[in-house]
């Protein structure tokens, strides 16, 4: 069937559809409304609204919201709410496309909400994303994030550049035409623009500072550039036969006036000029003369965003330290252009360009003036913010009413710059999504409930599905990759020594197809002329493509005829060459037969030599095995000899050690015997020395009654050396070096009955003691005791009662008696706090010795033995 016949058939179908539309117009109004609603449902999608709850900021905050399901939130009005005071205490449930809990991550929100918008952007469709909520609910954090956890906007940039990084066009190939479109420049013009930009960058002084755009609040000082980590884990499939470029714009709507945050203003003015919202030739709204910056990486785009962010209106309020005082719109525009038939150059036809955009809108927070305590300029800003949000709500309500009830009320888009700018999304085509950020505190209940109701109503608005008007030039898919592979093969052939490969040319050719199916021709309104216009454009494209395909077919036919003539001539030449090669082949076969006979004889000789070689190898292996066995036997003998040697060596060592131990024992016994003899001699010498030292003194001795006369003689006169030596065996001399273990001390506590109890806190510590009141015999001291303590009481010079404890060691004597040697005195005294004491101090006994009169008195009264002391020096 000819192409003209196909077009005639489609024209007849178009006439039939128009007749069908006339019949539908003659139907009753109720039927037309049902049909219109059905058509709208088939070609439109609802606005998708997501809800994100902010975590509690303080521990004492109370939440009034609870997530019931992934799509439903239950809201309980607090006692301070207006609904509670009006008697409406019932729990309110709101439903959304999806509800995000407080602990949701930025990555999950991006994947669920924004990633589909990025995919549509790369596929040529427009998208719009709002963040909406009260002041301080986390809208800016959701959109931008922080350096450690990026928000939606940086992640969108990362995915876009991850996907198109290998297919980006050179800078200035696409140039904005100031009318919301783009022109395609040649490579020469683009290179000139790149050189001019480089020259301007080199000529700019280093110390030049970018002037402030306008006077801003003190709370919005410029911040340093924030470094962040790029997420390269997500990509979207792109068409490899297209080249891509990314342009960004950043505007704000402040007090219902549009400002360009990226505008390079003059140094003198330092004031940003207001911009106008206009409509282009395709009925799309745009900001006239806005600055569009071409970026080549996500970091460059994010730096551009930060530059505009430092100029944005931010101020301090009672509810938020950095409250956004304007609506910000960051738009990412993606330009796609196909490559030519060879897959190398960009097609210069402006109609082939596909421009899609994604607008990320951070709305200013709705607020109450009685809570924010705003006055003056802040109050005016709050009023404009609330008015623009109210206009947005009114437009969506009227749009929903028109779609649900079939009415045709005028939507007041022009009442606000915000709604006027995005009119083509709601009234035309594009995917619209909204993130409602909510602070679940009970203090924000009254504002939050209004936001939730508006968001729930927004989901009922239907937006037309966007269609991509992509021109089909009949080019072969995959031509970029095919051209790349062809060049690699040609260069490899040239390196391998085939110079003729340089003359090879690739012919990817055209795809013989008139394009896809016809667009939707169903007319639902008598004023809808866009369908006819689209059909006319489609038919013009088909006619142009048909002419192009005819010309290409004729060219290929001529080329094919030439190729057939060339092949026929080559075939004749090959036949002649083939006959010559056959004659040469016959001679070569004879030579091959002779060589085969010689080869058979050589193979027989090789087989005999191989058999001899195998026999020799077997003999070598047997001899090697025999040698190995003999080595093992020799090693075993050596090991046995070493074991016998080690056995006898150990026996000799054992006998030697035994004899050494016996010799040491004998030597030790002899040494002890000699030491005992020397000790006995030392004891005798020490006794004689002691007697000689005490010639002029007295020896305190406790003796039995049988030696009383002998003791009196020693104390009454001083014997001579001869007399002492004659009596040395009869006297009981004490050993002054005698020591006994302190753990074995046993005390004799001598306390007369006449003592007065004083009850002092500190008392002497005697663990093992035997208390006596009167000594009648020396055996009471000698019997198992090593320490002696005598307690006495008297008055001091101040008339206070004083208790003294005289301590001594009991040393055994050679005669079987004991010697008491006093070595310590303790004084226990109890003073009256009201009494007057004399300043004179009692006499201090020197060298811890007791007066001789007192000790003699105690000895005569109690002990009945002689107690002597050393004379004072």
Q: Does residue 290 belong to any structural domain of this protein?
A: yes
Residue that is last in its domain, among 396, 429, 464:
464
Show binding-site residues: 133-140
Q: Could you identify the residue written with the tokens 């030049």?
A: 208
Provide the pLDDT for residue 426.
Answer: 84
* Terminal CA-CA length for the chain: 153
Strands (E), 162-287: 174-176, 182-184, 242-254, 257-260, 274-275, 277-279, 285-287
Cα(451)–Cα(460) distance, integer angstroms: 15
Instruction: Return the minimum-mean-pLDDT range out of 69-83, 402-416, 667-681.
Output: 69-83
Show binding-site residues for ATP: 133-140
Q: Does residue 790 belong to any structural domain of this protein?
A: yes
Mean pLDDT along residues 459-486: 76
User: Which of 54, 94, 88, 98 shows the shortest CA–CA distance to 452?
Assistant: 94
Torsion angle defined by CA atoms of residues 117, 123, 126 and 130, in that order, rounded to the nearest 10 degrees: 10
Compute the 3-state secondary structure of the chain and give helix, strand, coil in percent, each to the nearest 5: 45, 20, 35
Cα(864)–Cα(702) distance, integer angstroms: 9
User: Which of 451, 437, 151, 456 shows the shortest CA–CA distance to 320?
Assistant: 437
What are φ and ψ of residue 666, in 5° steps?
Answer: -65, -45
Torsion angle defined by CA atoms of residues 834, 836, 837 and 838, in that order, rounded to the nearest 10 degrees: 170
User: Which of 245, 241, 475, 246 shows the shortest CA–CA distance to 338?
Assistant: 241
Q: Does residue 20 belong to any structural domain of this protein?
A: no
Mean pLDDT along residues 305-334: 73
Provide the pLDDT for residue 676.
Answer: 92
C-alpha torsion sign, points 419, 421, 424, 429: negative
What is residue 731's three-state secondary structure? Answer: coil
pLDDT: which is higher, 276 or 728: 276
Res. 826 pLDDT band, cuts 50 70 90? confident
Tell me if 163 sits within 8 A of 235, measured CB to CB.
yes
Mean pLDDT along residues 94-112: 93
Strands (E), 376-503: 431-438, 462-464
DSSP at 333: E
What is residue 339's three-state secondary structure? Answer: strand
Q: Tens digit of pLDDT for each residue in 130-161?
A: 999 888 888 999 999 988 889 999 999 999 99
Provide the pLDDT for residue 76.
Answer: 86
Q: Could you identify the residue written with the tokens 């006036």?
A: 257
How far from chain centre, in Å, is Cα 398? 48
Q: Does residue 85 belong to any structural domain of this protein?
A: yes
Res. 403 pLDDT band, cuts 50 70 90? confident
Provide the pLDDT for residue 204.
Answer: 57
Angle between helices 3-25 and 29-43 (to 10 degrees): 130
Give percent of the chain with pLDDT exceeding 90. Answer: 28
Q: Tens digit of pLDDT for each residue in 615-632?
A: 999 999 999 999 999 999
Neighbours of 580 (CB within 10 A): 9
Provide the pLDDT for residue 743.
Answer: 63
Cα(808)–Cα(849) distance, integer angstroms: 11
Neighbours of 772 (CB within 10 A): 15
pLDDT at 872 over 50: no
Provide the pLDDT for residue 143.
Answer: 93
Instruction: Return the minimum-mean-pLDDT range out of 416-425, 696-705, 782-791.
Output: 696-705
pLDDT at 737 over 90: no
Cα(323)–Cα(314) distance, integer angstroms: 6
Res. 723 pLDDT band, cuts 50 70 90? very low
Tell me if 817 sits within 8 A of 706, measured CB to CB.
no
CATH number at residue 362: 3.40.850.10
327 DSSP β-pair partners: 253
Mean pLDDT along residues 319-343: 79
Cα(485)–Cα(183) distance, integer angstroms: 31
CATH number at residue 762: 2.60.40.4330
Residue 330's H or E segment, with its range, is strand 327-338
User: Which of 790, 778, 737, 750 shows the shortest CA–CA distance to 866?
Assistant: 778
Q: Does residue 540 belong to any structural domain of this protein?
A: no
Tell me if 379 sits within 8 A of 369, measured CB to CB.
yes
Strands (E), 36-138: 44-46, 48-53, 65-67, 72-75, 92-95, 98-100, 127-133
Number of domains composing the chain: 2
Q: Does residue 54 belong to any structural domain of this protein?
A: yes
What are the tokens at 636? 């075993």
What are the tokens at 353? 């360009």
- This prediction has a pTM of 0.56
Give the Å distances, CA to CA, from 559 to 384, 507, 526, 555.
71, 12, 52, 6
Tell me if 832 sits within 8 A of 800, measured CB to CB.
yes
Provide the pLDDT for residue 223.
Answer: 47
User: Which of 469, 467, 475, 470 shows the shortest CA–CA distance to 241?
Assistant: 475
Cα(17)–Cα(23) distance, integer angstroms: 10
| Mean pLDDT value across the chain | 77
Neighbours of 830 (CB within 10 A): 12
Tell me if 731 sits within 8 A of 747, measured CB to CB.
no
Task: Give a three-class secondary structure readout of 259-326.
Answer: EECCCCCCCCCCCCCEECEEECCCCCEEECCCCCEEECCHHHHHHHHHHHHCCCCEECCCCCCCEECC
What are the tokens at 285? 């709204």
Cα(237)–Cα(142) distance, integer angstroms: 26
Q: Tens digit of pLDDT for each residue in 243-283?
A: 999 999 999 998 889 999 998 864 344 577 889 999 988 88
DSSP 683-697: HHHHHHHHHHHTTTS
Tell me if 297 sits within 8 A of 161, measured CB to CB.
yes
Residue that is last in its domain, among 464, 498, 523:
464
Give the Å distances, CA to CA, from 469 to 179, 352, 382, 519.
19, 9, 42, 10
pLDDT: which is higher, 9 or 297: 297
Q: Does residue 691 belong to any structural domain of this protein?
A: no
Residue that is last in its domain, among 433, 464, 495:
464
What are φ and ψ of residue 246, in 5° steps?
Answer: -120, 130
Q: Which residues, 6+ apart, have CB-to-CB distance to 148 below 8 Å?
A: none
The boundaries of the domain holding residue 813 are 705-863
Q: Tens digit of pLDDT for each residue in 581-615?
A: 999 999 999 999 999 999 999 999 999 999 999 99
Q: Does residue 329 belong to any structural domain of this protein?
A: yes
Q: Which residues, 6+ apart, have CB-to-CB distance to 506 below 8 Å?
A: 342, 482, 483, 486
Q: Tens digit of pLDDT for each residue in 750-768?
A: 888 777 777 776 777 787 8
């Amino acid at each position: 069937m000819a192409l003209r016949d196909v077009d005639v058939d489609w024209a007849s179908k178009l006439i039939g559809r128009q007749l069908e539309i006339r019949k539908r117009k003659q139907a009753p109004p109720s039927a037309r409304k049902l049909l219109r609603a059905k058509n709208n449902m088939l070609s439109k999608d609802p606005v998708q609204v997501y809800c994100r709850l902010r975590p509690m900021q303080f521990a004492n905050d109370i939440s009034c919201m609870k997530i019931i399901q992934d799509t439903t939130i239950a809201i309980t009005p607090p006692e301070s709410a207006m609904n509670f005071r009006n008697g409406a205490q019932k729990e309110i449930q709101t439903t959304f496309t999806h509800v995000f809990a407080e602990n949701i991550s930025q990555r999950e929100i991006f994947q669920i909400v924004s990633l589909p918008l990025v995919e549509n952007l790369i596929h040529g469709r427009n998208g719009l994303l709002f963040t909406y909520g009260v002041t301080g609910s986390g809208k800016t954090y959701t959109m931008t994030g922080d350096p450690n956890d990026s928000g939606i906007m940086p992640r969108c940039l990362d995915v876009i550049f991850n996907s198109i990084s290998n297919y980006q066009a050179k800078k200035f190939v696409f140039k904005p035409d100031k009318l919301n479109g783009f022109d395609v420049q040649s490579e020469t013009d683009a290179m000139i623009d790149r050189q001019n930009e480089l020259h301007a960058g080199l000529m700019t002084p280093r110390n030049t500072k970018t002037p402030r755009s306008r006077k801003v609040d003190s709370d919005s000082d410029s911040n340093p550039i924030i470094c962040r980590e790029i997420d390269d884990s997500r990509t979207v499939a792109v068409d490899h036969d297209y080249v891509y470029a990314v342009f960004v714009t950043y505007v704000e709507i402040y007090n219902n006036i549009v400002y360009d945050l990226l505008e390079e203003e003059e140094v003198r003015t330092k004031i940003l000029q207001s911009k106008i919202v206009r409509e282009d030739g395709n009925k799309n709204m745009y900001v006239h003369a806005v600055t569009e910056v071409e970026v080549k990486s996500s970091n460059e785009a994010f730096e551009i965003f930060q530059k505009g962010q430092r100029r944005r209106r931010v101020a301090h309020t009672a509810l938020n330290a950095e409250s956004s005082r304007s609506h910000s719109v960051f738009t990412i525009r993606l330009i796609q252009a196909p490559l030519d038939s060879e897959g190398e150059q960009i097609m210069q036809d402006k109609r082939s360009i596909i421009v899609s955009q994604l607008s990320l809108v951070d709305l200013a927070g709705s607020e109450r003036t009685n809570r924010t305590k705003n006055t003056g300029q802040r109050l005016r800003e709050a009023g404009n913010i609330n008015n623009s949000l109210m206009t947005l709500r009114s437009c969506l309500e009227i749009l929903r009413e028109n779609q649900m009830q079939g009415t045709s009320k005028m939507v007041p888009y022009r009442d606000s710059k915000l709604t006027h700018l995005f009119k083509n999304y709601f009234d035309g085509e594009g995917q619209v999504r909204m993130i409602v950020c909510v602070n679940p505190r009970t203090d924000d209940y009254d504002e939050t409930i209004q936001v939730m109701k508006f968001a729930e109503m927004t989901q009922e608005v239907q937006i037309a599905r966007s269609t991509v008007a992509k021109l089909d030039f009949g080019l072969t898919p995959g031509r970029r990759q095919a051209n790349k592979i062809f060049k690699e093969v040609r260069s490899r052939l040239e390196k391998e020594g085939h110079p003729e490969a340089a003359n090879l040319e690739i012919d990817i050719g055209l795809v013989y197809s008139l394009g896809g199916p016809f667009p939707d021709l169903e007319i639902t309104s008598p004023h809808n002329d866009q369908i006819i216009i689209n059909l006319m454009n489609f038919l013009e494209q088909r006619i142009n493509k048909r002419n192009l395909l005819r010309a290409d077919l004729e060219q290929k036919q001529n080329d094919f005829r030439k190729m057939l003539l060339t092949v026929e001539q080559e075939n004749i030449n090959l036949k002649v060459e083939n006959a010559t090669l056959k004659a040469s082949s016959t001679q070569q076969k004879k030579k091959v037969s002779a060589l085969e006979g010689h080869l058979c004889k050589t193979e027989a000789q090789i087989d005999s030599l191989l058999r001899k070689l195998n026999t020799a190898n077997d003999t070598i292996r047997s001899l090697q095995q025999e040698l190995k066995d003999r080595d093992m036997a020799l090693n075993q003998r050596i090991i046995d000899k070493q074991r016998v040697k080690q056995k006898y060596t150990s026996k000799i060592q054992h006998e030697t050690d035994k004899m050494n131990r016996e010799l040491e024992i004998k030597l030790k016994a002899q040494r002890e015997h000699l030491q005992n003899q020397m000790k006995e001699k030392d004891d005798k010498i020490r006794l004689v020395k002691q007697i000689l030292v005490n010639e002029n003194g007295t020896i305190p001795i406790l003796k039995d009654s049988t030696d009383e006369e002998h003791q009196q003689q020693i104390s009454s006169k001083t014997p001579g050396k001869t007399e002492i030596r004659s009596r040395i065996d009869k006297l009981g001399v004490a050993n002054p070096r005698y020591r006994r273990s302190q753990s074995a001390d046993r005390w004799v506590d001598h306390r007369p009955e006449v003592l007065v109890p004083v009850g002092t806190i500190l008392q002497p510590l005697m663990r093992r003691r035997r208390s006596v009141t009167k000594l009648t015999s020396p055996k009471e001291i000698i019997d198992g005791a090593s320490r002696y303590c005598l307690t006495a009481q008297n008055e001091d010079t101040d008339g206070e009662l004083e208790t003294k404890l005289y301590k001594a060691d009991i040393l055994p004597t050679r005669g079987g008696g004991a010697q008491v040697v006093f070595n310590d005195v303790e004084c226990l005294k109890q003073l009256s706090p009201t009494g007057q004491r004399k300043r004179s101090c009692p006499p201090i006994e020197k060298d811890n010795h007791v007066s001789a009169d007192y000790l003699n008195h105690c000895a005569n009264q109690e002990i009945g033995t002689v107690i002597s002391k050393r004379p004072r020096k």
